[in-house]
């Protein structure tokens, strides 16, 4: 299981709730905030559908409560879901985990119960320097070129490209980032073990290998129109800003931009021909509060103004690139093979023992190091990433 801060019972409760409540339901969010996941699940599991009097949890009609109880009865054990995704190399990340992206908390009671994550990278670290690129499924050749160009340009400059894995602009942005040897995140409206659309099986698998595939729904769950709409809030909340490339007036991509504006993120649009209906929604966005952008440099000029999180670099951003200088020195002080004591690491890093201990535990929570008795060493995964390119910058 993922993370060092969330008790197993809490993780199981949250994983179970993804089977019972729909994503983004603010009533369930209120329950979690008021009662916590363990008590919320207990009240659902112990409820008697025929009992008279007030319902065990507030704010829900009797008909919907009955539906929740039916879903709870039919849901497989959360342990089974966690084991199922583990076989895929996936995991369940929830609030309190070191990997949980804190910006999702801006959604308030509409915050995800948790996220199923497929791929080896750290979601929290990647989300710190990410941009959403979304748009029409039925796009033009111009839209495909712009989506791919933005994906590649952002990736080449060390930004993570986030989109929804759909046909059209989403796919172009993902492929642009992958083609530039960068990284990308697909936020799905179904279980991370499913592929939708089916024609994107190879693309989704490649994203899982080179980036991350993320979803709120438990393994095996299918997409619905409402789930696509609700998925958009996660894309907007995860990222520094949202770029819309081609969208008609009623496009779901505009919903992502509206969420971005609501959350205080940048909402950007790429203009198209004024005669193009598929760009009409983008032009409406630009007439109001959206910012006009035409390439990756203009996007970065806007989102970077929020506060640069790392030096300018080319190539894909890596978790170690976002470490503070002092923590990076502690990581660099560890040998490629074998272990060092805290005193030895502190001496080589040029810091105090107490400060070094704190930074070692930070590195452990991020998966870089592990402790064995009085010694510390690099994890196998970190060993390759730290030394494969000649060490830390």
| pLDDT for 96 beyond 80 | yes
Q: Report, as an integer, the average pLDDT of 155-184.
A: 96
Q: Report, as an integer, the average pLDDT of 343-347.
A: 91
156 backbone φψ class: left, alpha, beta (φ>0; ψ -120 to 50): alpha
- Mean pLDDT computed over every residue of the chain: 90
Q: 170: pLDDT confidence band, cut at 50, 70 and 90?
A: very high
pLDDT for the residue numbered 393 = 33
pLDDT for the residue numbered 230 = 95
- Could you tell me the two tokens for 152? 């590649």
**136 or 381: which leads in pLDDT:** 136
CA distance 75 to 61: 21
Q: Report, as an integer, the average pLDDT of 279-298.
A: 94
Q: What is the pTM of this model?
A: 0.77
| pLDDT for 310 beyond 50 | no
Q: 34: pLDDT confidence band, cut at 50, 70 and 90?
A: very high
pLDDT for the residue numbered 69 = 94
pLDDT digits (tens, 9 = 90+) for 101-117: 999 999 999 999 999 99
What does DSSP say about strands 212-215 and 184-188: parallel, antiparallel, or unpaired? Answer: parallel
pLDDT for the residue numbered 318 = 62
| pLDDT for 246 beyond 50 | yes
**DSSP, residue by residue, 43-97:** HHHT--TT--SS-SSSS--HHHHHHHHHHHHHPPPHHHHHHHHHTTTEEEE-TTS
Q: Report, as an integer, the average pLDDT of 281-310.
A: 84
Average the pLDDT over each of 124-128, 292-296, 327-331 and give the range with the smallest value.
327-331
Q: Report, as an integer, the average pLDDT of 233-246.
A: 97
Domain chopping of the chain, boundaries: 8-110, 115-306, 323-387
| pLDDT for 306 beyond 70 | no
| pLDDT for 87 beyond 60 | yes
pLDDT digits (tens, 9 = 90+) for 120-165: 999 999 999 999 999 999 999 999 999 999 999 999 999 999 999 9
| pLDDT for 309 beyond 60 | no
- Could you tell me the two tokens for 153? 């340009």
* Torsions phi, psi for 312 (to 5 deg): -60, 135
Q: Report, as an integer, the average pLDDT of 235-247.
A: 97
Fold of 115-306: Rossmann fold (3.40.50)
**5 or 214: which leads in pLDDT:** 214
pLDDT for the residue numbered 392 = 37
Among 69-83, 293-307, 345-359, top mean pLDDT goes to 69-83
Find the largest Cα–Cα distance for the chain. 69
Sequence-distant (≥ 6) Cβ neighbours of residue 284 within 8 angstroms:
249, 254
Q: Report, as an integer, the average pLDDT of 239-262.
A: 94
| pLDDT for 2 beyond 50 | no
pLDDT for the residue numbered 126 = 95
**Which of these CATH numbers, 3.90.220.20, 1.10.3720.10, 1.10.10.10, 3.30.1490.20, describes 323-387?**
1.10.10.10
Q: Report, as an integer, the average pLDDT of 4-25.
A: 93
CA distance 218 to 81: 7
| pLDDT for 308 beyond 60 | no
The closest alpha carbon to 215, from 91, 331, 52, belongs to: 91
pLDDT for the residue numbered 196 = 87
| Burial readout 240-263 (b: 16 or more C-beta within 10 A, e: otherwise) | bbbbbbbbbeebbbbbbbbbbbeb
pLDDT for the residue numbered 390 = 40
The closest alpha carbon to 71, from 115, 13, 17, belongs to: 17
């Amino acid at each position: 299981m993922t993370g060092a801060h969330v008790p197993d019972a809490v993780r199981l409760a949250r994983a179970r709730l993804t089977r019972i409540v729909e994503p983004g339901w603010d009533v369930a969010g209120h329950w979690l905030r008021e009662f916590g996941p363990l008590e919320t699940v207990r009240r659902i599991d112990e409820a008697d559908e025929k009992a008279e009097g007030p319902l065990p949890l507030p704010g829900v009609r009797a008909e919907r409560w009955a539906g929740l109880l039916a879903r709870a009865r039919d849901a497989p054990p959360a342990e089974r879901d966690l084991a199922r995704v583990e076989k895929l190399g996936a995991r369940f990340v929830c609030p309190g985990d070191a990997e949980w992206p804190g910006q999702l908390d801006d959604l308030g009671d509409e915050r995800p119960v948790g996220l199923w994550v497929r791929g080896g990278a750290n979601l929290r670290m990647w989300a710190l320097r990410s941009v959403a690129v979304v748009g029409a499924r039925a796009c033009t050749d111009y839209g495909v070129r712009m989506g791919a160009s933005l994906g590649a340009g952002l990736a080449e400059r060390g930004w993570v490209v986030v989109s929804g894995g759909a046909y059209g602009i989403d796919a172009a942005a993902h492929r642009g980032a992958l083609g530039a040897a960068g990284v990308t995140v697909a936020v799905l409206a179904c279980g991370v073990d499913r592929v939708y659309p089916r024609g994107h099986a190879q693309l989704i698998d490649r994203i899982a290998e080179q980036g991350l595939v993320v979803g709120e729904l438990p393994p095996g769950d299918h997409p619905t129109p409402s789930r696509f709409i609700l998925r958009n809030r996660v894309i907007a909340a995860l990222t520094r800003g949202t770029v819309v490339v081609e969208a008609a007036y009623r496009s779901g991509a505009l919903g992502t931009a509206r969420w971005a504006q609501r959350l205080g993120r940048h909402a950007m649009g790429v203009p198209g021909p004024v005669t193009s209906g598929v760009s009409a929604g983008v032009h409406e966005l630009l007439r109001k509060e959206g910012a006009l952008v035409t390439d990756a440099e203009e996007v970065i000029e806007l989102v970077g103004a929020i506060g640069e999180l790392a030096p300018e670099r080319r190539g894909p951003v890596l978790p170690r690139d976002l470490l503070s200088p002092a923590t990076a020195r502690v990581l660099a002080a560890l040998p490629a093979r074998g272990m060092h004591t805290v005193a030895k690491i502190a001496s080589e890093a040029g810091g105090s023992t107490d400060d070094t201990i704190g930074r070692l535990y930070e590195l452990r929570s991020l998966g870089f190091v592990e402790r064995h008795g009085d010694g510390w060493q690099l994890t196998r995964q970190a060993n390759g990433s730290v030394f494969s390119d000649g060490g830390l910058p």
